[in-house]
């Protein structure tokens, strides 16, 4: 079974631009979560989608948004990029998103904002 | 609000030494607990999980963790570490309120000297 696939692997953008990141979950998984990983901060929760509905949102500004499609693929968008948005963005899928359903992670998209 | 605290940010051990990484969480409801590991150049992967029952759980590669409910702790242990255990370790909690989002600690970087 193929794992979680994130594209692109690397992105370089300038301040003020916007960016869209893509995530394809493991086949059959219906829940997709997004995290921002920075050194010293660990993984900060962005949002979680299940069956095209956002069920949870972390404490990030409205510049961060996402969506999930009917095939469970998900995209994350960041508008008006700031230098502080430079990070590794991780996508994780789980089969049901329920309490006992662990996360399966992709390799991430490394975003650099200059 | 959910939170996870990992006591050590960096740990350096020699091969064959014993390992214990501390993790405490703050959450008022039912939780499931996880340890994830990120080896250099690889994606995050599940090391072990606790849902219910025996509070001592065993994971891959000889790791184990003990859930102590009264202390809100879920410490990770390994009797004898190997050079290949060099990685970053994340404790995570998933609760049954707020839509089953998984919250991570800041991570502990373990370096094992050969």
Residue of chain B whose Cα is closest to the Cα of A107: B43
How confident is residue A82, by pLDDT bands cut at 50, 70 and 90?
very high
Residue of chain B whose Cα is closest to the Cα of A109: B43
Q: What is the pLDDT of residue B8?
A: 87
Residue of chain B whose Cα is closest to the Cα of A98: B100
Residue B98 has pLDDT above 80, yes or no: no
How confident is residue A95, by pLDDT bands cut at 50, 70 and 90?
confident
Residue B81 has pLDDT above 70, yes or no: yes
Q: Which residue has the higher pLDDT, B11 or B97?
A: B11
Q: Which residue has the higher pLDDT, A39 or B93?
A: B93
Taking the C-alpha atoms of residue A22 and residue A8, their distance in angstroms, rounded to an integer, is: 7
Q: Which of B34, B100, B107 sits opposite A97 (nearest CB)?
A: B100
Evaluate whether B96 touches B14 at the Cβ level (below 8 Å): no
Residue B32's nearest CA partner among B92, B113, B104, B107 is B92
Q: Give the contacts of B73 (CB within 8 A, at least 6 positions apart).
A: B22, B23, B24, B25, B66, B67
For the record, the structure tokens of B29 come out as 């409801």
Give the tens place of pLDDT for each residue, B33-76. 999 999 999 999 999 999 989 999 999 999 999 999 999 999 99
Residue B27 has pLDDT above 90, yes or no: no
> Does A105 touch chain B if contact means CB atoms closer than 8 Å?
yes
Taking the C-alpha atoms of residue B49 and residue B60, their distance in angstroms, rounded to an integer, is: 10
* Residue A97 with chain B: CB contacts under 8 Å: 100
Average pLDDT in the A86-94 region? Answer: 97
Average pLDDT in the B85-90 region? Answer: 97
Q: Which of B36, B94, B103 sits opposite A99 (nearest CB)?
A: B94
């Amino acid at each position: 079974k193929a794992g979680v696939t994130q594209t692109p692997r690397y992105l370089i953008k300038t301040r003020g631009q916007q960016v869209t990141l893509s995530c394809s979950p493991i086949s059959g998984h219906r829940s997709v979560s997004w995290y921002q990983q920075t050194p010293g901060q660990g993984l900060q929760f962005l949002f979680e989608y299940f069956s095209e509905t956002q069920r949870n949102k972390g404490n990030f500004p409205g510049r961060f948004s996402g969506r999930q499609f009917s095939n469970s693929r998900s995209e994350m968008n960041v508008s008006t990029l700031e230098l502080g948005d430079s990070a590794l963005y991780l996508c994780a899928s789980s089969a049901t998103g329920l309490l006992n359903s662990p996360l399966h992670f992709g390799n991430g998209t490394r975003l650099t904002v200059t | 609000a959910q939170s996870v605290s990992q006591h050590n940010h960096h740990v350096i051990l020699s091969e064959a030494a014993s390992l214990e990484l501390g993790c405490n969480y703050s959450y008022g409801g039912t939780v499931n607990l996880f340890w994830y590991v990120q080896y250099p150049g690889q994606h995050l992967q599940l090391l072990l999980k606790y849902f219910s029952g025996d509070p001592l759980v065993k994971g891959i590669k000889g790791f184990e963790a003990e859930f102590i409910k009264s202390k809100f702790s879920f410490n990770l242990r390994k009797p004898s570490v190997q050079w290949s255990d060099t990685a970053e370790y994340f404790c995570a909690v998933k609760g049954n309120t707020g839509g089953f989002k998984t919250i991570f600690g800041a991570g502990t970087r373990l370096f094992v000297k050969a």
